Amino acid sequence: MTQLPPLPPSAPEPSPAGPPAGPPADVGAPTTTLAGQPASSSVPPPVPRSGRPTWWGIRTVAVLEARQRLRSTRWKVALGVWAAIVGVVTLGIVMTIGEMGGADETAGRISFGLVLLFVLMLGLLVAPTLSATSINGDRTTGTLAVLQATTLSAWDIVLGKLAAAWVSALAFLAVSTPFLLWAFALGGTPIAGALLGVIMVAFVLLVVCAIALAMSALVARTSGSAVLTYLTVALLSIGTPIAFGLTSSFVSSGYEDVRVYGYANPGDDVCTWHEESRWVTHTEHTAWMLVPNPFTIVADAGVLGMPSSGSSMGDDPMSVISYAVRMTLAGGVGDVNECWSDDMPWTRDAHPVPYWPWGVGVYVLMGAGATWFAARRLAIPARTLPKGTRIA
């Protein structure tokens, strides 16, 4: 007769009164996975959602966005088209100025100013497309809910998307660098003015990306957010001078005594200082509308260190724009120089204070407000969603 092997000990049956009495479980013991294997001690514990931006979260979202753009063929084609357009325009500007006989420092200032303002104009056309569909596009495809379900905060998502959009915009600006250096090499443009002008272009593109991100969080449809962003850019670029022109008739005007440098009498052949009663429009009350214009900000920053040109208005595009806005800021106050034949230095007695820092302040408020609005729209739990949308 063979002996049967001993039976394994049976598991104790659960007591109806609760778990069996015994020593308490070790809270520090490693947890087990669904497969019954102990979890690795290298796995970080879950990070609670704090709502504050973190460098890790911003970097994660920015890298995800950047990888999507790098895999896109349209973005590479856009860079190539951008470089071709800027190159052709730069070549045309240099050749045109060369045929007009310009080979001195004035030609260099004109070339650099035209190329920089053209790059700014292209940037205002391209920057809205980089982030105007960033949030509502992800919400439509359902990928936004995946990010919101993680430990990433709303600020991480918004700042990460903003960083990726701005880096993409800077890539377009970097492609333009060889052509800007070409125009700068012609001479006449101070290094400080050139650097500050390029920095202002990059700063304006950052604010435009932030505005586009806010529009993307506000509107459900991607086409609607893109249109609203372009309208905002048009309002800043074209709407501000139009509004200034339309409101000029509402400011106080009238005849006032003005100090004029010119011919006091019809028969004089020597310019002298004298006073005349002239019609004066006090544009200083409405000139603040021109300060947020992106072209005026870049132009006024670009004339930093510009040498005196011998005329009252300058002879390069950035000097002309800066002088015109400063004259409107001065309004009817200041002297008038009408003796163009005299070699008088280019004075700024009527508009001595640069206005581009005020424009930067306005843009900082606009960019910060747009970023805050986008983060509020992505906060969890969501309070309100765009009409016709859902979280996932």
The domain ranges of the chain are 55-243+356-380, 249-337
Q: Tabulate helix, strand, coil % of the chain (nearest 5).
A: 55, 5, 35
Lowest mean pLDDT among 222-226, 234-238, 354-358, 388-392: 388-392
| Higher pLDDT among residues 373 and 40, named by residue | 373
Query: What residues form DSSP beta bridges with 261?
Result: 273, 337
Q: Residue 375 corresponds to which tokens in the numbers above? A: 């983060």
Q: Which amino acid appears at position 241 of this protein?
A: P
Q: Are 294 and 204 in contact (CB under 8 A)?
A: yes
Quick one: average pLDDT of 191-201? 92
Q: What's the distance, Cα to Cα, between the start and end of the chain in Å?
A: 69
- SS3 call for 354: coil
| Higher pLDDT among residues 86 and 390, named by residue | 86
Residues in the chain: 392
**Could you give the residue ranges of the DSSP H alpha helices within 149-221?**
154-175, 177-185, 191-218
Quick one: average pLDDT of 217-243? 92
pLDDT of 363 reads: 96
pLDDT of 297 reads: 94
- SS3 call for 253: strand
pLDDT of 21 reads: 41
User: DSSP per residue over 274-338, as a string?
Assistant: EEEEEEEE-GGGTGGGGTT-HHHHHHHHHTTTPPP-SSSS-SSHHHHHHHHHHHHHHTT-S-EE-
Q: Residue 3 corresponds to which tokens in the numbers above? A: 């002996």
Q: Residue 270 corresponds to which tokens in the numbers above? A: 């020597």
195 CB burial (10 A radius; 0-12, 13-18, 19+): middle
Q: Which residues lie closer than 8 Å to 164 by C-beta, 6 or more apart?
A: 61, 62, 65, 66, 69
Q: Which amino acid appears at position 109 of this protein?
A: R
Q: Kind and range of the H or E element at 353?
A: none
pLDDT of 22 reads: 42
Quick one: average pLDDT of 200-221? 93
Which range scores top for mean pLDDT: 5-9, 53-57, 194-198, 262-266? 194-198
Which range scores top for mean pLDDT: 14-28, 158-172, 316-330? 158-172
Query: What residues form DSSP beta bridges with 275?
Result: 259
CA separation for the pair 274, 270 (Å, rounded): 12
Confidence band, pLDDT 50/70/90 cuts, at residue 345: very low
Preceding peptide of 24 cis, ω within 30°:
no
Sheet order of strands, 253-262 included:
272-281, 253-262, 336-337
Neighbours of 233 (CB within 10 A): 21
Q: Kind and range of the H or E element at 26?
A: none
Candidates 261, 135, 132, 262; CA nearest to 209 is 132
CA separation for the pair 347, 308 (Å, rounded): 8
Candidates 360, 356, 296, 294; CA nearest to 325 is 296
Chain segment 31-86, per-residue pLDDT in tens: 444 444 444 445 555 555 557 888 888 999 999 888 887 777 787 888 899 999 99
pLDDT of 310 reads: 42
Chain segment 99-154, per-residue pLDDT in tens: 776 667 778 888 999 999 999 999 999 988 888 888 888 888 888 888 888 888 88
CA separation for the pair 281, 248 (Å, rounded): 8
Chain segment 237-292, per-residue pLDDT in tens: 999 999 998 887 777 667 778 788 777 777 777 788 888 887 777 888 888 899 99
Confidence band, pLDDT 50/70/90 cuts, at residue 11: very low
Q: Which residues lie closer than 8 Å to 119 by C-beta, 6 or more apart?
A: 86, 173, 176, 180, 201
- By DSSP bridging, strand 336-337 and strand 253-262 are parallel
Confidence band, pLDDT 50/70/90 cuts, at residue 341: low
Q: What are phi and psi of 278, to 5 degrees?
A: -130, 160
Lowest mean pLDDT among 296-300, 316-320, 362-366: 316-320
